Amino acid sequence: MRKERTTRKWILGAALLLSLLLLAGLLTACKGKDIVSLARLDKGDLYVTDKYGNSVMVADAGRFLSVLKKAERIKAGTGDSVDLTRATHYLWTGQERVYYDWENKQAIVVDAKGNKTVFSVDLRDLLLAIPGLPPVITEGTASDPAIASGFDEISKVDSPSAAVFKTGDGAIVMVAAGKKPSGGYTMSLENAKVGLGGVVELTVRLNPPAGPATAQISYPYLELSLEKYADLEVTLVYTEDGSERYEKVNLAVVEPGQEIVVFKPYRGALLTERVQMYGFARWDLGAFMVTVHDGHSVLGSKEVKVTHSLPAGAPEPTWSAFNFMMDLHQAGSPSGMVEFAKGGNILVRIPVSFGGK
């Protein structure tokens, strides 16, 4: 009997020990299942791909892996409600992918069975620092209402134009399609990529009315927010006579507090003996001087007064358009500057070149 009790105690003890060992092993396994091990990101070169299809190999992968290993796992079951279409990037080494939701700061690992494991981690600074990838771009209402409030006015242009407003480290972009014969037009960002010299090339599509549209003239435009400022080129894509047309858009760069937006002449434009000055000035600017020089001599100058035709009872606008032609003297050097100034203070400088008739 005593021997039987001893045997029973030994069996219970062995079973308890085995349970503890299994539990310890399970805890160790769970603890090791971080993003890096789940997605096997340390098994080769690390790549990042954005939602426009741009892929770049991460030169300093160690920094990414270090941050990812510290990511906090969100409770089980959360992955079922995760929408991968919200992802702005995905990271990969082999077949496994880690999707990243910029807005919610979440990384989602998807296994071969489609199961999602969600982690909380902030990769924003690391992603913005990767050369060769465009900054994160958000379509829709701009993040700075003080800037966006004037878009209804500066979008009223005859031909496609764009303005990029610097805001700290980022920027807000307005792409205007120009004057259209009816309402119902929409615009969307179709592609973004980094071109020569690090210039971010944006392709914006103008979509015609999908159904019946109002006969009233419209000026469609698109608002974009850039998480990080970059030199831009904008191309507008639209359909005309059954064929797709691609048109490079004049781009105005607007510094914080700048009171003039200049669409023509654009930076680097080749000026002849007669040049168009076209853009918008702050309603309360009053008057300003436009001067063209070649570095040695003044080739032309004109005072411009800010005016606006307002119907009775209409609220004061934010911006007022200016549009005039200026005759220039012959330049003595191949390059120069167009300056917009008030009271001796330079408001905008546009570098240009000279030549032709």
| Cα-based distances in Å from 325 to 14, 264, 300, 305 | 96, 11, 11, 15
**DSSP letters spanning 241-259:** TTEEEEEE-EEEEE-TT--
pLDDT tens, position by position, 166-217: 998 999 999 999 999 999 999 999 999 999 999 999 999 999 988 777 788 9
Sort strands 161-167 and 250-254 into parallel, antiparallel or unpaired: parallel
Q: What is the identity of the amino acid at 301?
A: S
- Identify the DSSP state of 264: E
Least confident of 78-82, 120-124, 179-183, 256-260: 78-82
Of the chain, the percentage scoring pLDDT greater than 90 comes to: 69
| Cα-based distances in Å from 252 to 13, 161, 223 | 79, 8, 14
Closest CA to 348 of 261, 233, 235: 261
What sign does the CA torsion over 123, 128, 130, 136 have?
positive
pLDDT at residue 8 is higher than 80: no
C-alpha–C-alpha distance, residues 194 and 192, integer Å? 7
Q: Which residues pair with 189 in a beta bridge?
A: 204
**What pLDDT is recorded for position 214?**
78
pLDDT at residue 341 is higher than 60: yes
Q: Where are the beta strands (DSSP E) in 184-220?
A: 186-194, 200-207
CA 58-64-69 angle, to 5 degrees, is: 145
pLDDT tens, position by position, 243-288: 999 999 999 999 999 999 999 999 999 999 999 999 999 988 999 9
Domains of the chain: 30-128 (3.30.1490), 137-254 (no CATH), 260-354 (2.60.40.650)
